[in-house]
Copies of this chain bind each other. A is one copy, B any other.
């Protein structure tokens, strides 16, 4: 198991309904030492890529993205979730359906901060059905930029989001891919047959 899989086993909590709670270290309390390890790992996996910007989405993607950005020496842009139609200036807009909150949101990025010259690494904490990620890819495409890669902390491999994105030819790197969870025992199975309790 790698460092993130080990941490998920130690501090993640499996709940009914295929819910994995990782708020001890990833998306409420944030372990920045762990984020540094993630930055080092993404730096290896995207070595040789010409990346000049990181794109993420609020809220919990921002912390990871900012620490990872220090390994690439690039700025971060975060897409804002907004139901408002009263947005100042020109914006790229994508519709995103939230798995957790069961609602549709618009996500927006100012046209000032993404354009045809941008070579973008997309970073997010979770990938499940892939709606948020599809929205971010759509925004880079609207800008005429290039998606150089996608770095995810935890992918739910039993949902379709990751497969679709890989089928489309993107380099998608998930540091931990959960293949299955059992809320009654707390067992988590990772892709590559690593299992822990």
Contact = CB atoms under 8 A, between A and B. Distances in A.
A70 B28 contact: no
A28 B76 CA distance: 8
A113 to B, nearest CB: 4
A109 B30 CA distance: 13
A50 interface: no
A137 interface: no
A73 B112 CA distance: 34
B113 A76 contact: no
Contacts of A66: 30, 32, 35, 62-64, 66-67
A103 to B, nearest CB: 11
Main secondary structure of the interface of A (DSSP, over half): mixed
Copies of this chain held together in the complex: 2
A77 B70 CA distance: 20
A93 interface: no
A112 B80 CA distance: 28
Nearest to A67: B66
A70 to B, nearest CB: 5
A116 interface: no
A29 B75 contact: yes
A164 interface: no
Contact of A76 (B23, B29, B73, B80): B29
A73 B28 contact: no
Given A23-B110, A24-B113, A32 B76 contact: yes
A35 B80 CA distance: 20
Nearest to A61: B62
